[in-house]
Amino acid sequence: MTSFGRTLRLLRRRAGISQPALAATVFVSQPTISRFESGARTPDPALARLLDEAVGAGGALAGLLPADEDRAEFQARRPGLVDRQTVLDMESGLLRLRVLEDATSSAGVMPMVAARAEMSLRTADDAPYALRAAAIGVAAMGVTYLGWCHVLAGRYEAAAQLLDRAVACAYESQDPERLERTMSYRGVLELVWGNPAAAACMFAASRHDTRTHPVLRAYDTGQHARALAHAGEARAADRLLLEADRLAEGVDHADVPEGAYWYTPGWLALQRGVAMLAQGRPARARHEIEQGYAAMPVEHQQAHWARQWIEAVSVDGAPSDLVLPRHRRGKDGVGGASGASGRGTEARTGGRTGGRTGAS
Protein backbone atom coordinates (compact mmCIF):
# COMPACT_ATOMS: atom_id res chain seq x y z
CA MET A 1 0.00 0.00 0.00
CA THR A 2 1.36 3.45 -0.93
CA SER A 3 1.60 6.27 1.60
CA PHE A 4 -1.18 7.99 -0.34
CA GLY A 5 -3.43 4.94 -0.08
CA ARG A 6 -2.76 4.41 3.63
CA THR A 7 -3.39 8.07 4.38
CA LEU A 8 -6.57 8.18 2.32
CA ARG A 9 -7.97 5.16 4.16
CA LEU A 10 -7.01 6.59 7.56
CA LEU A 11 -8.50 10.02 6.87
CA ARG A 12 -11.65 8.59 5.31
CA ARG A 13 -12.32 6.38 8.30
CA ARG A 14 -11.47 9.17 10.74
CA ALA A 15 -14.02 11.39 8.96
CA GLY A 16 -16.64 8.62 9.16
CA ILE A 17 -17.04 8.43 5.38
CA SER A 18 -17.71 5.11 3.65
CA GLN A 19 -16.01 4.17 0.39
CA PRO A 20 -19.30 4.44 -1.57
CA ALA A 21 -20.00 7.87 -0.06
CA LEU A 22 -16.53 9.14 -0.90
CA ALA A 23 -16.82 7.73 -4.41
CA ALA A 24 -20.10 9.58 -4.95
CA THR A 25 -18.55 12.82 -3.67
CA VAL A 26 -15.69 12.80 -6.20
CA PHE A 27 -17.67 11.10 -9.00
CA VAL A 28 -15.84 7.80 -9.32
CA SER A 29 -16.88 4.23 -8.53
CA GLN A 30 -16.43 2.53 -5.15
CA PRO A 31 -13.99 -0.05 -6.61
CA THR A 32 -11.82 2.86 -7.76
CA ILE A 33 -11.61 4.20 -4.19
CA SER A 34 -10.72 0.71 -3.03
CA ARG A 35 -7.91 0.50 -5.59
CA PHE A 36 -6.59 3.91 -4.50
CA GLU A 37 -6.49 2.80 -0.87
CA SER A 38 -4.81 -0.51 -1.69
CA GLY A 39 -2.19 1.17 -3.85
CA ALA A 40 -3.26 -0.69 -6.99
CA ARG A 41 -3.97 2.68 -8.62
CA THR A 42 -3.03 6.27 -7.92
CA PRO A 43 -5.24 9.25 -8.83
CA ASP A 44 -4.21 12.10 -11.05
CA PRO A 45 -3.42 15.36 -9.20
CA ALA A 46 -6.84 16.85 -9.96
CA LEU A 47 -8.68 13.90 -8.42
CA ALA A 48 -6.23 13.80 -5.53
CA ARG A 49 -7.17 17.39 -4.72
CA LEU A 50 -10.87 16.50 -4.73
CA LEU A 51 -10.20 13.53 -2.42
CA ASP A 52 -8.10 15.77 -0.18
CA GLU A 53 -10.95 18.25 0.13
CA ALA A 54 -13.55 15.51 0.71
CA VAL A 55 -11.70 14.06 3.71
CA GLY A 56 -10.61 17.45 5.06
CA ALA A 57 -6.88 16.87 4.64
CA GLY A 58 -6.03 20.51 3.99
CA GLY A 59 -3.66 19.65 1.14
CA ALA A 60 -1.65 17.06 3.05
CA LEU A 61 -3.15 14.10 1.18
CA ALA A 62 -2.67 15.59 -2.29
CA GLY A 63 0.90 16.42 -1.35
CA LEU A 64 1.72 12.72 -1.04
CA LEU A 65 1.54 12.24 -4.80
CA PRO A 66 4.86 12.20 -6.66
CA ALA A 67 5.88 15.44 -8.36
CA ASP A 68 5.13 15.74 -12.06
CA GLU A 69 8.78 15.23 -12.98
CA ASP A 70 8.74 11.87 -11.14
CA ARG A 71 5.48 10.77 -12.70
CA ALA A 72 6.93 8.80 -15.61
CA GLU A 73 9.22 6.83 -13.30
CA PHE A 74 6.36 6.36 -10.84
CA GLN A 75 4.08 4.96 -13.53
CA ALA A 76 6.83 2.77 -14.96
CA ARG A 77 6.83 0.94 -11.64
CA ARG A 78 3.07 0.45 -11.97
CA PRO A 79 2.32 -0.81 -15.49
CA GLY A 80 -1.30 -0.74 -16.55
CA LEU A 81 -2.17 2.23 -14.33
CA VAL A 82 -4.75 3.30 -16.94
CA ASP A 83 -7.05 0.43 -17.81
CA ARG A 84 -10.47 0.21 -19.44
CA GLN A 85 -12.21 0.70 -16.09
CA THR A 86 -10.29 3.95 -15.62
CA VAL A 87 -11.70 5.27 -18.89
CA LEU A 88 -15.21 4.13 -18.02
CA ASP A 89 -14.96 5.76 -14.57
CA MET A 90 -13.90 9.01 -16.19
CA GLU A 91 -16.87 9.02 -18.54
CA SER A 92 -19.42 8.06 -15.88
CA GLY A 93 -18.09 10.81 -13.60
CA LEU A 94 -18.67 13.41 -16.31
CA LEU A 95 -22.19 12.12 -16.88
CA ARG A 96 -22.97 12.33 -13.16
CA LEU A 97 -21.75 15.92 -13.15
CA ARG A 98 -24.26 16.67 -15.91
CA VAL A 99 -27.08 15.43 -13.73
CA LEU A 100 -25.75 17.36 -10.73
CA GLU A 101 -25.66 20.51 -12.86
CA ASP A 102 -29.38 20.11 -13.60
CA ALA A 103 -30.11 20.46 -9.89
CA THR A 104 -27.61 23.27 -9.30
CA SER A 105 -25.94 25.39 -11.99
CA SER A 106 -23.01 25.30 -14.38
CA ALA A 107 -21.14 27.71 -12.07
CA GLY A 108 -21.66 25.29 -9.17
CA VAL A 109 -20.09 22.34 -10.96
CA MET A 110 -17.45 24.20 -12.96
CA PRO A 111 -14.54 23.53 -10.53
CA MET A 112 -15.29 19.82 -10.66
CA VAL A 113 -15.68 19.93 -14.45
CA ALA A 114 -12.29 21.65 -14.73
CA ALA A 115 -10.71 18.96 -12.57
CA ARG A 116 -12.36 16.23 -14.62
CA ALA A 117 -11.27 17.78 -17.91
CA GLU A 118 -7.66 17.92 -16.68
CA MET A 119 -7.87 14.33 -15.48
CA SER A 120 -9.35 13.13 -18.77
CA LEU A 121 -6.52 14.69 -20.77
CA ARG A 122 -3.91 13.22 -18.43
CA THR A 123 -5.60 9.83 -18.63
CA ALA A 124 -5.53 9.94 -22.42
CA ASP A 125 -1.82 10.79 -22.35
CA ASP A 126 -1.15 7.87 -20.01
CA ALA A 127 -3.36 5.33 -21.78
CA PRO A 128 -1.76 2.44 -23.67
CA TYR A 129 -2.21 2.37 -27.44
CA ALA A 130 -5.15 -0.07 -27.28
CA LEU A 131 -7.12 2.37 -25.08
CA ARG A 132 -5.95 5.64 -26.61
CA ALA A 133 -8.97 6.15 -28.91
CA ALA A 134 -11.48 5.54 -26.12
CA ALA A 135 -9.55 7.70 -23.65
CA ILE A 136 -9.11 10.64 -26.03
CA GLY A 137 -12.83 10.41 -26.80
CA VAL A 138 -13.62 10.87 -23.11
CA ALA A 139 -11.12 13.73 -23.03
CA ALA A 140 -13.10 15.36 -25.86
CA MET A 141 -16.19 15.00 -23.68
CA GLY A 142 -14.53 16.58 -20.64
CA VAL A 143 -12.94 19.48 -22.52
CA THR A 144 -16.20 20.17 -24.35
CA TYR A 145 -18.07 20.34 -21.06
CA LEU A 146 -15.50 22.73 -19.61
CA GLY A 147 -15.65 24.84 -22.76
CA TRP A 148 -19.39 25.14 -22.44
CA CYS A 149 -19.10 26.19 -18.81
CA HIS A 150 -16.88 29.02 -20.04
CA VAL A 151 -19.54 29.97 -22.60
CA LEU A 152 -22.15 30.22 -19.87
CA ALA A 153 -19.76 32.35 -17.82
CA GLY A 154 -19.31 34.74 -20.77
CA ARG A 155 -15.66 33.78 -21.37
CA TYR A 156 -16.03 33.18 -25.09
CA GLU A 157 -12.39 33.37 -26.17
CA ALA A 158 -11.42 30.76 -23.57
CA ALA A 159 -14.42 28.67 -24.60
CA ALA A 160 -13.39 28.78 -28.26
CA GLN A 161 -9.89 27.54 -27.43
CA LEU A 162 -11.26 24.67 -25.34
CA LEU A 163 -13.88 23.66 -27.89
CA ASP A 164 -11.32 23.72 -30.70
CA ARG A 165 -9.13 21.41 -28.63
CA ALA A 166 -12.14 19.18 -27.99
CA VAL A 167 -12.83 18.93 -31.73
CA ALA A 168 -9.23 17.79 -32.27
CA CYS A 169 -9.57 15.17 -29.52
CA ALA A 170 -12.87 13.93 -30.95
CA TYR A 171 -11.37 13.69 -34.43
CA GLU A 172 -8.52 11.56 -33.09
CA SER A 173 -10.98 9.28 -31.29
CA GLN A 174 -12.60 8.37 -34.64
CA ASP A 175 -15.95 8.25 -32.84
CA PRO A 176 -18.61 9.95 -35.00
CA GLU A 177 -20.81 10.89 -32.05
CA ARG A 178 -17.91 12.43 -30.11
CA LEU A 179 -17.09 14.54 -33.17
CA GLU A 180 -20.75 15.44 -33.69
CA ARG A 181 -21.07 16.63 -30.09
CA THR A 182 -17.99 18.82 -30.15
CA MET A 183 -18.87 20.38 -33.53
CA SER A 184 -22.41 21.04 -32.29
CA TYR A 185 -21.18 22.87 -29.19
CA ARG A 186 -18.78 24.87 -31.35
CA GLY A 187 -21.69 25.80 -33.61
CA VAL A 188 -23.74 27.14 -30.72
CA LEU A 189 -20.76 29.20 -29.56
CA GLU A 190 -20.73 30.88 -32.98
CA LEU A 191 -24.45 31.58 -32.62
CA VAL A 192 -23.91 33.01 -29.16
CA TRP A 193 -21.07 35.07 -30.59
CA GLY A 194 -23.36 36.48 -33.26
CA ASN A 195 -21.79 34.69 -36.24
CA PRO A 196 -24.67 32.67 -37.79
CA ALA A 197 -22.89 31.87 -41.07
CA ALA A 198 -20.03 30.17 -39.19
CA ALA A 199 -22.57 28.46 -36.93
CA ALA A 200 -24.44 27.10 -39.96
CA CYS A 201 -21.20 25.59 -41.30
CA MET A 202 -20.52 23.94 -37.92
CA PHE A 203 -24.00 22.45 -37.76
CA ALA A 204 -23.78 21.25 -41.36
CA ALA A 205 -20.59 19.39 -40.39
CA SER A 206 -21.99 18.05 -37.10
CA ARG A 207 -25.04 16.45 -38.75
CA HIS A 208 -23.18 15.13 -41.80
CA ASP A 209 -22.29 11.64 -40.54
CA THR A 210 -25.33 9.36 -40.74
CA ARG A 211 -23.75 6.95 -38.23
CA THR A 212 -24.69 9.29 -35.39
CA HIS A 213 -27.93 8.73 -33.50
CA PRO A 214 -31.03 10.20 -35.23
CA VAL A 215 -31.89 12.26 -32.15
CA LEU A 216 -28.55 14.07 -32.38
CA ARG A 217 -29.00 14.70 -36.09
CA ALA A 218 -32.55 15.95 -35.46
CA TYR A 219 -31.27 18.49 -32.96
CA ASP A 220 -28.36 19.61 -35.15
CA THR A 221 -30.62 19.96 -38.17
CA GLY A 222 -32.96 22.20 -36.19
CA GLN A 223 -30.01 24.27 -35.01
CA HIS A 224 -28.75 24.46 -38.60
CA ALA A 225 -32.15 25.88 -39.53
CA ARG A 226 -31.91 28.37 -36.66
CA ALA A 227 -28.47 29.54 -37.79
CA LEU A 228 -29.59 29.97 -41.40
CA ALA A 229 -32.64 31.93 -40.26
CA HIS A 230 -30.35 34.32 -38.37
CA ALA A 231 -28.21 34.56 -41.52
CA GLY A 232 -31.25 35.61 -43.57
CA GLU A 233 -31.59 32.32 -45.48
CA ALA A 234 -35.32 31.89 -44.85
CA ARG A 235 -36.14 29.27 -47.49
CA ALA A 236 -33.19 27.06 -46.61
CA ALA A 237 -34.14 27.36 -42.93
CA ASP A 238 -37.70 26.23 -43.71
CA ARG A 239 -36.47 23.17 -45.56
CA LEU A 240 -34.13 22.18 -42.75
CA LEU A 241 -36.82 22.62 -40.11
CA LEU A 242 -39.02 20.19 -42.03
CA GLU A 243 -36.10 17.76 -42.21
CA ALA A 244 -35.55 18.12 -38.47
CA ASP A 245 -39.22 17.26 -37.90
CA ARG A 246 -38.88 14.15 -40.06
CA LEU A 247 -35.80 13.00 -38.16
CA ALA A 248 -37.45 13.66 -34.79
CA GLU A 249 -40.48 11.58 -35.74
CA GLY A 250 -38.26 8.57 -36.40
CA VAL A 251 -36.41 8.69 -33.06
CA ASP A 252 -36.69 5.73 -30.71
CA HIS A 253 -36.43 7.57 -27.39
CA ALA A 254 -35.87 4.31 -25.54
CA ASP A 255 -32.53 4.09 -27.34
CA VAL A 256 -31.18 7.63 -26.83
CA PRO A 257 -27.47 7.70 -25.88
CA GLU A 258 -26.82 8.01 -22.14
CA GLY A 259 -24.95 11.24 -22.71
CA ALA A 260 -28.04 12.82 -24.29
CA TYR A 261 -30.64 11.91 -21.68
CA TRP A 262 -32.37 15.31 -21.97
CA TYR A 263 -33.18 14.73 -25.67
CA THR A 264 -36.82 13.98 -24.95
CA PRO A 265 -39.71 14.69 -27.34
CA GLY A 266 -40.52 17.79 -25.29
CA TRP A 267 -36.96 19.08 -25.55
CA LEU A 268 -36.92 18.64 -29.34
CA ALA A 269 -40.28 20.43 -29.58
CA LEU A 270 -38.94 23.28 -27.47
CA GLN A 271 -35.92 23.56 -29.75
CA ARG A 272 -38.24 23.67 -32.76
CA GLY A 273 -39.80 26.74 -31.17
CA VAL A 274 -36.35 28.25 -30.67
CA ALA A 275 -35.68 27.90 -34.41
CA MET A 276 -39.00 29.60 -35.10
CA LEU A 277 -37.92 32.56 -32.98
CA ALA A 278 -34.99 33.00 -35.34
CA GLN A 279 -37.40 32.82 -38.27
CA GLY A 280 -39.38 35.76 -36.91
CA ARG A 281 -42.49 33.74 -35.99
CA PRO A 282 -42.91 34.74 -32.32
CA ALA A 283 -46.50 33.57 -31.78
CA ARG A 284 -45.86 30.11 -33.19
CA ALA A 285 -42.51 29.96 -31.42
CA ARG A 286 -44.12 30.79 -28.07
CA HIS A 287 -46.66 28.00 -28.56
CA GLU A 288 -44.00 25.41 -29.49
CA ILE A 289 -41.73 26.37 -26.60
CA GLU A 290 -44.55 26.30 -24.05
CA GLN A 291 -45.87 22.96 -25.32
CA GLY A 292 -42.39 21.44 -25.44
CA TYR A 293 -41.57 22.66 -21.95
CA ALA A 294 -44.81 21.23 -20.57
CA ALA A 295 -43.98 17.84 -22.10
CA MET A 296 -40.54 17.64 -20.51
CA PRO A 297 -39.94 15.61 -17.33
CA VAL A 298 -40.40 17.72 -14.18
CA GLU A 299 -36.74 17.39 -13.19
CA HIS A 300 -35.72 18.78 -16.57
CA GLN A 301 -38.15 21.69 -16.29
CA GLN A 302 -36.34 22.85 -13.16
CA ALA A 303 -32.93 22.94 -14.86
CA HIS A 304 -31.59 26.34 -15.93
CA TRP A 305 -31.18 25.24 -19.56
CA ALA A 306 -34.95 24.71 -19.81
CA ARG A 307 -36.15 27.53 -17.56
CA GLN A 308 -34.34 30.17 -19.59
CA TRP A 309 -36.48 29.48 -22.63
CA ILE A 310 -39.82 29.45 -20.85
CA GLU A 311 -38.77 32.71 -19.16
CA ALA A 312 -37.88 34.17 -22.57
CA VAL A 313 -41.41 33.62 -23.88
CA SER A 314 -43.24 34.43 -20.66
CA VAL A 315 -42.17 38.06 -20.36
CA ASP A 316 -44.36 40.91 -21.59
CA GLY A 317 -43.99 41.68 -25.27
CA ALA A 318 -42.74 39.53 -28.10
CA PRO A 319 -40.35 36.72 -27.15
CA SER A 320 -36.82 37.03 -28.46
CA ASP A 321 -34.00 34.64 -29.22
CA LEU A 322 -31.14 34.58 -26.73
CA VAL A 323 -28.39 34.87 -29.33
CA LEU A 324 -26.10 37.86 -28.91
CA PRO A 325 -25.81 40.31 -31.81
CA ARG A 326 -22.58 40.19 -33.78
CA HIS A 327 -21.25 43.50 -32.45
CA ARG A 328 -21.08 42.00 -28.95
CA ARG A 329 -18.32 39.60 -30.00
CA GLY A 330 -15.10 40.55 -28.31
CA LYS A 331 -13.07 40.02 -25.19
CA ASP A 332 -13.92 37.52 -22.51
CA GLY A 333 -16.64 38.63 -20.17
CA VAL A 334 -18.68 40.53 -22.79
CA GLY A 335 -22.29 39.51 -22.60
CA GLY A 336 -21.81 38.01 -19.16
CA ALA A 337 -23.96 38.13 -16.07
CA SER A 338 -23.74 41.90 -15.87
CA GLY A 339 -25.40 42.27 -19.28
CA ALA A 340 -28.21 44.75 -19.84
CA SER A 341 -30.96 42.18 -19.52
CA GLY A 342 -30.31 41.72 -15.82
CA ARG A 343 -30.66 37.96 -16.17
CA GLY A 344 -27.75 35.66 -15.42
CA THR A 345 -25.28 34.61 -18.09
CA GLU A 346 -26.97 31.25 -18.47
CA ALA A 347 -30.09 33.04 -19.61
CA ARG A 348 -28.22 35.18 -22.14
CA THR A 349 -25.92 32.92 -24.07
CA GLY A 350 -28.08 30.58 -26.07
CA GLY A 351 -27.96 28.49 -22.89
CA ARG A 352 -28.61 24.83 -23.24
CA THR A 353 -29.37 25.06 -26.88
CA GLY A 354 -25.77 23.95 -27.02
CA GLY A 355 -24.98 23.05 -23.44
CA ARG A 356 -27.57 20.40 -23.76
CA THR A 357 -26.25 19.10 -27.02
CA GLY A 358 -24.63 16.41 -25.11
CA ALA A 359 -21.10 16.27 -23.48
CA SER A 360 -20.19 15.04 -25.35
Closest CA to 185 of 197, 171, 203, 161: 203
Instruction: State the chain's mean pLDDT as an integer.
Output: 83
> Could you tell me the pTM of the whole model?
0.77
Confidence band of 305 (pLDDT split at 50, 70, 90): confident
- Decide if pLDDT at 219 tops 70: yes
Mean pLDDT (whole number) for 271-298: 92
Task: Supply the pLDDT for residue 251.
Answer: 92
Confidence band of 146 (pLDDT split at 50, 70, 90): very high
Task: Supply the pLDDT for residue 159.
Answer: 95
Burial of 233 (0-12, 13-18, 19+ CB in 10 A): middle
- Per-residue pLDDT tens digits for 335-345: 433 222 222 33
- Per-residue pLDDT tens digits for 28-64: 888 889 989 988 888 888 788 889 889 988 888 888 8
Using the 8-state DSSP alphabet, how is residue 55 labeled? T
Among 53-57, 66-70, 263-267, the range scoring the smallest mean pLDDT is 66-70
Closest CA to 272 of 300, 298, 243, 230: 243
- Decide if pLDDT at 261 tops 80: yes
Report yes or no: 202 and 184 within 8 Å, Cβ to Cβ.
yes
Task: Supply the pLDDT for residue 302.
Answer: 87
Report yes or no: 304 and 105 within 8 Å, Cβ to Cβ.
yes
Among 156-165, 180-189, 233-242, 257-266, the range scoring the smallest mean pLDDT is 257-266
Mean pLDDT (whole number) for 125-152: 94
Report yes or no: 181 and 144 within 8 Å, Cβ to Cβ.
yes
Mean pLDDT (whole number) for 163-180: 96
Instruction: Count Cβ neighbours within 10 Å for each residue of 326-350 and write b for 16 or more, e otherwise.
Output: eeebeeeebbbbebeeeebbbbbbb
- Decide if pLDDT at 346 tops 50: no
Task: Supply the pLDDT for residue 60.
Answer: 80
Task: Supply the pLDDT for residue 355.
Answer: 42
- Decide if pLDDT at 354 tops 50: no
- Decide if pLDDT at 65 tops 80: no
Mean pLDDT (whole number) for 134-138: 96
Please state, for a pLDDT cut of 90, what percent of the chain lies above it.
50
CA dihedral 243, 166, 262, 287 (to 10 degrees): -50
How many other CB atoms are found less than 10 A from the CB of residue 179?
A: 24
Report yes or no: 189 and 146 within 8 Å, Cβ to Cβ.
no
Question: Measured between alpha carbons, how far apart are the two ends of the chain, in Å?
Answer: 36
Report yes or no: 82 and 128 within 8 Å, Cβ to Cβ.
yes
Q: Which domains does the chain have, with CATH numbers?
A: 1-69 (1.10.260.40), 81-355 (1.25.40)
Task: Supply the pLDDT for residue 84.
Answer: 86
Task: Supply the pLDDT for residue 102.
Answer: 86
Please state, for a pLDDT cut of 70, what percent of the chain lies above it.
82
- The better pLDDT of the pair 211, 66 is held by 211
Query: CA 204, CA 323: separation in Å to the nearest integer?
Result: 19
Task: Supply the pLDDT for residue 327.
Answer: 45
Task: Supply the pLDDT for residue 104.
Answer: 84
- Per-residue pLDDT tens digits for 97-110: 888 888 888 888 89
- The better pLDDT of the pair 180, 339 is held by 180
Task: Supply the pLDDT for residue 58.
Answer: 83
Mean pLDDT (whole number) for 191-207: 94
